[in-house]
Structure 1
Amino acid sequence: MKRIRIEPAWSFTDEAGNRLDPQLFGLLQGIHRSGKLTAAAAEAGISYRHAWNLLNKWAEFFGVALVEMHKGRGARLTPLGDKLLWARQRVAARLGPQLESLGSELNLELQQLFEGVEPVLRVHASHGYAVALLPRFASDFQLDLQYCSPAEALAALNRGACDVAGYHMPTSATRGPLMQGYRRQLRPRSHCIIRFITRRQGLMLRPGNPKGIVGLADLTRGDVRFINRQKASGTRALLDILLRDAGLASQRILGFELEEYTHSAVAAYIAAGMADVGFGVEAAAHQFGLAFLPLADEHYLLVCQRRSLADPSVRRLLEMIRGESFRQAVSELPGYTPDRCGEVCSVDELFDETQRS
C-alpha cells in the first residue's frame, strides 16, 4: 500500500503573485555542502544552466544575490542564502515529528477503508532517530506512531490510549523527579519492558568548537550561548540531572530559557549560528555537521501490558526489531547501538539493573 508522507513546503510570492521554484533549497544545500555549483546541480537533478538561471531568478526576486561565484574557488552562500537554508532546516526539524504523527493517522484511516485490515499497533513515544525508523520496517501490521513526551506516552499506556509506550532513562543509577516519575507510572504486576536501543547524549557544538567548550561548566560562561530542549522532554530531564550532579545552576546559563522541540531542531539552531552549544544525541550533531562532546548514555525502552505480548501486532513488532535489517539500520546512526534490542524483561528487573550500574 502506498503511504502518505507530509513534508513542509515553502512558497514565496511577491505583490504581483509571482511564485518561484522551491527547488532552490536543494540547490542551496548542495552548494553549502560541496562549494561547487556543478556538483550542487547534479545533486539536485537539474542541469548547470537551469541551476544558474534559478539562482539569477531568486536573486532578482529578493533583490540580493544568494550565492557568490568565485572563479577557481567555487561557490559559497551569501548571508541571505545561508539564512534561507538554515531557516528551512529549522522548520523541517521543528515540525517533523508533528507531521509524521499526522501522516501516521491518515495512513491508518486509509488502511481501514480496505478489506483485510492488518493488525494495528498504537505506539506513543518520545521522538528519536531510532523510533523514526519503525514505519520503514513495519510489515504485516499497521503502525500508528504518535510522538509525545515520555510522561505523556506512559500516561497514554495506562489509560489504554496506546498499546506500546516509548521513553528513555539514563544507563546509570539516578535519583530525583525523573526516576520517581517513572516508578509511579510503571506497574510491575501488569507492565513489561521491551529493550530497544542505547544512545549517546552530550553537548552539540559549532563546527570546530570555536568557544573551546570542554564540559558542562563552560555553559555558565558569559560568552557562550545555549539552546535548550522543552521542559517535558526526557532529554531536558537528563540535562537537569547532569547539571544538578555537577552543582551548576541553570540560571547562570545564557539562553537556558530558549527551547526547541527535537534534537534536530536544536542542532539546526546551532548550525545556523544562533547558539554555540546545545544538549542532544550524537546523531543530530552528525546530521548537521556539528562537533560533539559525549556526556551520558541512556536506554530507550518500550513498555506494554504483559498480556499484549500475545497480540499479533506486538509479536510482529518484536520480530521486526530483533531482525538483522532493523538492527543494522540502528547501528548506522552515530551514537546508537541496538544492544539487547527486542529482549523482554520485567519492570523490577529493569530497576534492579539500573541500581546496580
Structure 2
Amino acid sequence: MAKTSNRTVSVSCRLKELRTQKKMTQSELAGLVGIKRQAVYDIEAGRYLPNTGVALAMAQVLGCRVEDIFYQAPGQARDVVLVDQEHAWGPRVNIAKVRDRHFAYPLVGTHARMEDMGAADALLEPGQTRAKILLPEERVSSTALLLGCDPAFSVLGHRVRETPGHAGLMVRFASSQMAVTRVASGQAHIAGTHMHTRGGGNDGNKFLVSQKMKDISGILIAFSAFEEGLLVAPGNPKGIIGVADLARSDVSLINREEGAALRSLLDDLLQEKNIPATAIQGYDYLAYSHAQGAQAVRHHVCDAALGLRAVAVTHGLDFIPLSHVRCDLVIPSDLMTHPGVAAALDIIQTRAFREELACLPGYETSDTGRIIAEL
C-alpha cells in the first residue's frame, strides 16, 4: 500500500515477473538502475514504492512502461446506478463514470454489445446498488461513454484507445433518441444521433436535441454522413425497389424499435405514400441493432431489414438506398474536457481519421468535425 496526499492507494507490482522474463538477478537490476539490491528486494516484496526517477530507470532497463511494472490494484467497491435494470442478468457490467457518478451497463440484453462477449469492467454486488470495480479508477475516470448506432463509432473507439495515456472511449449501441435522452439525464458523455430531415426542412438532429436537452449547454458536431435503406438478400430475389414493395403479401420486414432513426424514416416514407403500418408484414417484428437486422435477412427470417449500406456490405447483402443522413455527436459543455471526450474530438479533426471513415461503404466526410450547432 502506498500513501499519497493523505489517501491510501493500493498499488500492485510486477517487477519480479518482468525481471525474471529478462533472466536478470536482483543484483544485476540494482546495478543497472543505480540502487541497492535490498531496494529491489523490498520493491518486489511490496514494502517499498520507488520514486519516479527509479521507476523510470527500471522501466528503461526492462524495456517496458512504468505502468507495466506498477499499477493500481482493482477491486474497490463503488456506489453505482444500474441502467437497463430489466436486462441485468448476472453481475457483469460496463462502468461509465459521468461527472461524479458511476453508471453500470449490463453486458447482456438487447442494447449490449451483441457481436462479442466483452470483458466486464465491474461485478455487481447483491442488491445491485454497488459494484466491485475491476479496473484502476484512473482508467474508469478517463474513459468516456458514447451511445449511438453508427457502426463507425467503434473505429473512433479504437483510435482513442491508441492515444498515449489513460484516455478511453467505450461504445455501446443505442437508438438516437435513447442516446440523447441518456446524455441529457447524465448517464453518458456523448450521444450519436442521425435523425433525418423532418417535414418543413427542419434538421432532424437539431430538433431531437432541442426537445431532449432544453436546459443543457453543449455542442452538436458532425461525425459522419451515410446511406440508409433496406438490406435484402444477395441478388434481391424479391425484386424490392422501395418501401412500397414492403406492402406486398410476399415480402416480410424486420423493423427497428421506436426511437430509432431508421424507424422514424420508415414511418415518414410510409406516410408520404399513404401506406398503413398494418399493411407491412413484420412491422411489429423488431431488431435492436443493424447487425441483428442483417442476420435476420441473411438467415431468411425476413426479406428486408432497415440498415446502412456499410452493414449490408459487411454481411454480404444487397442494399436499396432510401436516404442520405448526417450523424452528429451531442456533447454537454462541462464534459468537453473529459480525457476520453477530448481525445475523441481531437481524432475526428484529423485528416487520417476522415480518410479512414470515407473508405467505409456509403460514407462521406465533408462535414466531419464541423460544429453544427451550439446548444
Q: Which bracket does the TM-score occupy, shorter chain normalised? A: 0.5 to 0.7
| Equivalent residue letter for 2:223 | F
Alignment partner, residue 275 of structure 1 = 302
The structural deviation recorded for 1:206 is 1.4
Residue 112, structure 1, aligned to residue 132, structure 2: no
The structural deviation recorded for 1:293 is 1.2
- Using the size of structure 2 for normalisation, the TM-score is 0.60
The structural deviation recorded for 1:240 is 1.3
Query: What pairs with 1:17-32 in structure 2 (closer than 5 Å)?
Result: none
User: Are the counterparts in 1 of residues 111 and 173 from structure 2 also a CA contact under 8 Å?
Assistant: no
Alignment partner, residue 176 of structure 2 = 150
Alignment partner, residue 154 of structure 2 = 132
Distance in 2 of aligned mates of 1:269 and 1:105 = 30
Distance in 1 of aligned mates of 2:303 and 2:200 = 28
Q: Which has the higher contact order (CA 8 A, sep 6+)?
A: 1
Q: 1:99 to 1:275 in 2, by over 3 A?
A: closer
User: Are the counterparts in 2 of residues 97 and 127 from structure 1 also a CA contact under 8 Å?
Assistant: no
| Equivalent residue letter for 1:127 | C
Of residues 319, 334, 354, the one that matches 2:361 is 334
Residue 257, structure 1, aligned to residue 257, structure 2: no
SS of equivalent residue, structure 2 residue 326 = strand
User: Are the counterparts in 1 of residues 173 and 289 from structure 2 also a CA contact under 8 Å?
Assistant: no
Stretch moving more, 254-263 or 118-127: 118-127
Q: 1:118 to 1:223 in 2, by over 3 A?
A: closer
Stretch moving more, 302-311 or 267-276: 302-311
User: What are the superposed Cα offsets for residues 181-204 of structure 1, whole Å, 9 maximum, x if unpaired?
Assistant: 543113487121121001110111
Q: 1:248 to 1:101 in 2, by over 3 A?
A: farther
Query: What pairs with 1:8-157 in structure 2 (closer than 5 Å)?
Result: 97-98=113-114, 103=119, 105=121, 109-112=133-136, 117=139, 120-138=142-160, 139=163, 140=165, 141-157=167-183
The structural deviation recorded for 1:292 is 0.9
User: What are the superposed Cα offsets for residues 283-317 of structure 1, whole Å, 9 maximum, x if unpaired?
Assistant: 11111221111110111111112343344433221
User: Are the counterparts in 1 of residues 142 and 338 from structure 2 also a CA contact under 8 Å?
Assistant: no
Alignment partner, residue 323 of structure 1 = 350
The structural deviation recorded for 1:142 is 2.0
User: Are the counterparts in 2 of residues 230 and 260 from structure 1 also a CA contact under 8 Å?
Assistant: yes
| Equivalent residue letter for 1:135 | G
The structural deviation recorded for 1:147 is 2.9
The structural deviation recorded for 1:155 is 2.1
Q: 1:95 to 1:347 in 2, by over 3 A?
A: closer
Residue 219, structure 1, aligned to residue 246, structure 2: yes
Distance in 2 of aligned mates of 1:210 and 1:234 = 27
Distance in 2 of aligned mates of 1:100 and 1:192 = 32
Distance in 1 of aligned mates of 2:372 and 2:267 = 28
| Equivalent residue letter for 1:128 | D
Distance in 2 of aligned mates of 1:162 and 1:101 = 21
Structure exhibiting the larger radius of gyration computed from Cα positions = 2
Distance in 2 of aligned mates of 1:346 and 1:132 = 24
User: Are the counterparts in 2 of residues 119 and 142 from structure 1 also a CA contact under 8 Å?
Assistant: no
SS of equivalent residue, structure 1 residue 200 = strand
| Equivalent residue letter for 1:112 | P
Note the residue ranges of structure 2 that are not aligned, 5 or more in a row.
1-107, 124-131
Q: 1:102 to 1:225 in 2, by over 3 A?
A: same
Alignment partner, residue 290 of structure 1 = 317
Q: 1:291 to 1:345 in 2, by over 3 A?
A: closer
Distance in 1 of aligned mates of 2:186 and 2:116 = 22
Question: Percent identity of the aligned residues?
Answer: 26
The structural deviation recorded for 1:156 is 2.0
Residue 160, structure 1, aligned to residue 186, structure 2: yes
The structural deviation recorded for 1:257 is 1.3
Alignment partner, residue 7 of structure 2 = none
User: What are the superposed Cα offsets for residues 51-103 of structure 1, whole Å, 9 maximum, x if unpaired?
Assistant: xxxxxxxxxxxxxxxxxxxxxxxxxxxxxxxxxxxxxxxxx9x7862576964
User: Are the counterparts in 2 of residues 271 and 288 from structure 1 also a CA contact under 8 Å?
Assistant: yes
Q: 1:117 to 1:203 in 2, by over 3 A?
A: closer
Stretch moving more, 217-226 or 180-189: 180-189
SS of equivalent residue, structure 2 residue 336 = helix
Distance in 2 of aligned mates of 1:151 and 1:163 = 15
SS of equivalent residue, structure 1 residue 170 = coil
User: What are the superposed Cα offsets for residues 181-233 of structure 1, whole Å, 9 maximum, x if unpaired?
Assistant: 54311348712112100111011111111111121111111111111112232
User: Are the counterparts in 1 of residues 291 and 311 from structure 2 also a CA contact under 8 Å?
Assistant: yes
User: Are the counterparts in 2 of residues 98 and 147 from structure 1 also a CA contact under 8 Å?
Assistant: no
User: Are the counterparts in 1 of residues 112 and 172 from structure 2 also a CA contact under 8 Å?
Assistant: no
SS of equivalent residue, structure 2 residue 195 = strand
Note the residue ranges of structure 1 that are not aligned, 5 or more in a row.
1-91, 349-357
Residue 208, structure 1, aligned to residue 218, structure 2: no
Q: 1:235 to 1:330 in 2, by over 3 A?
A: same
